[in-house]
Structure 1
């Protein structure tokens, strides 16, 4: 019955959470600290330091930043520096373009760098032509083309020896100054002209099988054969140490006559070789299938496609039309 007499709504010690010894201890200690708090401390600053914590807010006070906008003077200086830099860049590109243009001009129409005459790289005069027998000339024409090239070099050596022989003749007698002066002229005139007028045409003819180059070579080289014969004969006062001049000098001075006789032999060899090579070139020309009609066609195409001829023809036509218009008025 005792169990029924107990109050079911009565709180037991185990059901009240505040009766826990740990909670009771914390509550008592807190009350004690509150009772010991002194609102009037001896040093107010210590109280403030103890009671006021340091601000830990992530927001900082606003700070007035200085203006970063450049001044007009700085803007003008920067613009001027930019213009100078662009001008230097343009000048550098212009110099590069000029260098490339000079390289292209030095290579000539073949697109390859000229290699003749073979001059040092630091020489002020650059090579004017491109020459390569193994690459340009077919194998069946290579030998004769080289022989013509050697004939041109032998002719240049003979002209130089002729100058020395005429100089020796001039030292023996002052009246032989005409031969010495003409010998200088022949070296200056015949050496480069022979290269341009008959060696380069035959080189181009064998290279591109050009009928026009063949005909041009035949006409000029035939004149060169005649000149070789005249030089070997040695007409007096013509500036040539041929046979007649050599025998005449032999009666005056044996040493000078012997030198001129050697030059006469060289001129004779040039004449003989030129006749032989002319026949050999003609034989190869007939094998290539070239003809006079092809030469005319090549000449007409070359003339009408030449820019100089086109500009001259345009100028002449404009002048004629202007004259006709003025005459009608």
Structure 2
């Protein structure tokens, strides 16, 4: 030790504050970055909600159906980006169902004209299907899964699984085409071809293809939605809790 050195001097720099926090480690840096990312996501979500509210303020709450708006329906506004393709496909399948119901009615009319003894009952049932199935399919399975992906609440998924399951069974019933049931399906189509009633036969064939396409499409997405529902951890207990917390009215309103 040099005689010129101060034996009581600290070996630490006077610029260093002993009460400062230690230098952040890499995990701390990652955690802060994650927090900043979440804050950015929340800010972005808030901007989207404000933009949506402004849009509704200026353009009105209801926009569907376009000829007599009853509800607000906008996949690009209400459905998360990752789920938009699926909901779009389901909406397209619902439109195929609507077109099939119309074709089925027209085919049944031509089956009646062709002289079928059950033609009157077929036309009557087909008219009922056109109105009843159009409305109930939209309200009982399409709208619940639309809201399910929008709000990510369990009860919507269970409503969808229950009513879409019945719709899939109904589709099989319509594909078969038993006379007097209101379906211009396979049996009716084969009979029309056999009796050389070509217009009725071709319309019945197109209706059968329509029933098959929308049925298979809905069955495919039914499985896909069930996988999503399972991965998201939705349970019946969770659905009951949501129902108790929000009330039944919340499941028929937006927000």
TM-score, structure 2 as length reference: 0.71
1:235 to 154, 164, 178: 178
Residue pairs, 1:1-329, within 5 angstroms: 113-119=61-67, 125=68, 127-173=69-115, 175=117, 176-252=119-195, 253-303=197-247
Q: State the number of aligned residues.
A: 192
Q: Any conservation in 2 of the 1:138–1:207 contact (CA below 8 Å)?
A: yes
Q: What is the deviation of 1:174?
A: 5.8
Tell me the SS of whatever aligns to 1:129: coil
- Structure of greater Rg: 1
Q: Deviations over 1:249-291 (max 9, x none)?
A: 2222133212211211111112111110101111222232322
* Structure 2 unmatched runs, 5+: 1-55, 251-255
> CA separation of 1:150/1:305 partners in 2, compared to 1, >3 Å: closer, same or farther?
closer
* Structure 1 unmatched runs, 5+: 1-106, 120-124, 307-329
TM-score, structure 1 as length reference: 0.55
Aligned-residue Cα RMSD (Å) equals 2.0
Q: Relative contact order (alpha carbons < 8 A, sep ≥ 6): 1 or 2 greater?
A: 2
> CA separation of 1:182/1:251 partners in 2, compared to 1, >3 Å: closer, same or farther?
same
The structure 1 segments of at least 4 consecutive aligned residues displaced by more than 4 Å after TM superposition are: none
